[in-house]
């Protein structure tokens, strides 16, 4: 069993620490013996095939799910105790187009955190929502219904919602799945700047940008294999995907291809 330890100052808690984690859905094993310790201000990419447990792992970080066995700690505490410190951008940007909520309203939701029923947004809340929308170039759409946006525009708004909470940790599940190539590069440039002050964990299949921006990579397929470097090699991918692959790069975005022979 592989245990991962990344150095942090002695007086600084780990951003996320997972020890001996196993998780099952209705008896179906999803994650097994996962160990990882993520330093504050780390920029980690999590890669792996569909169904490998990536989204499940994020939900465990967020406290949405509880381990079948093992421990998850965020900033030294149980995830449910630090929800206001975590910003989350989900993978699915689909939304009821008839739901009457504006872009600004969605961004303001990031200020709710642990607020109780009947919470009223303050002037500071609205200022932070505007700043977050400006950072993702969506302020001009502030009054537009969220259902009238494109998939890429909705993704920008969801990122703004996460940033409006001023989190210490930003967790993103396939943030570039619904955006154009131009915004993909722009997004990772933006995340690189954010990484100066916050921890970022990204699930992504986009090999074309990962190695240019992230600091470390975790390959997940039930078990987790950690690599304390941004370089994504064929050996790393094979460990997670359990099949030989080629990384094709001729001055163009990287693509990962399976070997079609029977292995």
Same domain, 256 and 193: yes
At 44, give phi and psi (nearest 5°): -110, 130
- pLDDT reading at 150 higher than 70: yes
Closest alpha carbon to 74 in 45, 40, 46, 35: 40
Same domain, 220 and 254: yes
The strand ranges marked E within 115-188 are 169-173
Q: How many domains does the chain have?
A: 2
Same domain, 17 and 43: yes
End-of-domain residue from the set 166, 201, 226: 166
Minimum mean pLDDT range among 105-114, 144-153, 167-176, 207-216: 207-216
Rounded to an integer, what distance in angstroms lies between the CA atom of residue 122 and that of residue 108?
10
- Output the pLDDT for position 93: 58
Phi-psi region of 88 (alpha: psi -120 to 50; beta: other; left: phi over 0): beta
Q: Encoding tokens for residue 163?
A: 């940033």
pLDDT band at 119 (very low <50, low <70, confident <90, very high): confident
Rounded to an integer, what distance in angstroms lies between the CA atom of residue 113 and that of residue 216?
29
- Output the pLDDT for position 202: 94
pLDDT per residue over 21-74, tens digit each? 999 998 899 999 999 999 999 999 998 888 899 999 999 999 999 999 999 999
In a domain, 83, yes or no: no
Higher-scoring residue by pLDDT: 239, 69: 69
- Output the pLDDT for position 241: 61
Same domain, 179 and 247: yes
Rounded to an integer, what distance in angstroms lies between the CA atom of residue 104 and that of residue 87?
17
Same domain, 116 and 198: no
Same domain, 69 and 110: no
Same domain, 2 and 129: no
Same domain, 239 and 204: yes
Give 238's DSSP letter: H
- Determine the straight-line distance between the first and last CA of the chain, rounded to whole angstroms: 25
């Amino acid at each position: 069993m592989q245990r991962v330890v990344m150095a942090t100052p002695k007086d600084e808690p780990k951003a996320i620490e997972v020890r001996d984690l196993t998780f099952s859905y209705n008896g179906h094993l999803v994650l097994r013996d996962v160990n990882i310790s993520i330093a504050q201000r780390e920029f980690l990419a999590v890669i792996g095939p569909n169904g490998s447990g990536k989204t499940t792992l994020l939900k465990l970080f967020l406290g949405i799910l509880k381990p079948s066995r093992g421990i998850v700690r965020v900033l030294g505490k149980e995830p449910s105790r630090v929800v206001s410190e975590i910003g989350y951008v989900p993978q699915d940007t689909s939304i009821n187009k008839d739901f009457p909520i504006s872009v600004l309203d969605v961004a303001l939701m990031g200020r709710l955190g642990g607020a109780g029923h009947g919470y009223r947004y303050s002037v500071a809340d609205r200022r932070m929502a505007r700043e977050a929308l400006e950072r993702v170039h969506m302020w001009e759409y502030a009054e537009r219904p969220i259902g009238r946006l494109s998939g890429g525009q909705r993704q920008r708004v969801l990122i703004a919602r996460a940033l409006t909470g001023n989190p210490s940790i930003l967790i993103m599940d396939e943030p570039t799945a619904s955006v154009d190539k131009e915004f993909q590069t722009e997004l990772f440039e933006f995340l690189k700047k954010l990484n100066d002050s916050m921890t970022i964990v990204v699930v992504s299949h986009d090999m074309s940008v990962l190695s240019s921006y992230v600091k470390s990579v975790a390959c997940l397929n039930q078990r987790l294999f950690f690599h304390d470097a941004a370089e994504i090699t064929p050996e790393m991918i094979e460990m997670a995907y359990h099949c030989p692959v080629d990384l094709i790069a001729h001055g163009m975005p990287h693509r990962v291809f399976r070997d079609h022979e029977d292995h």
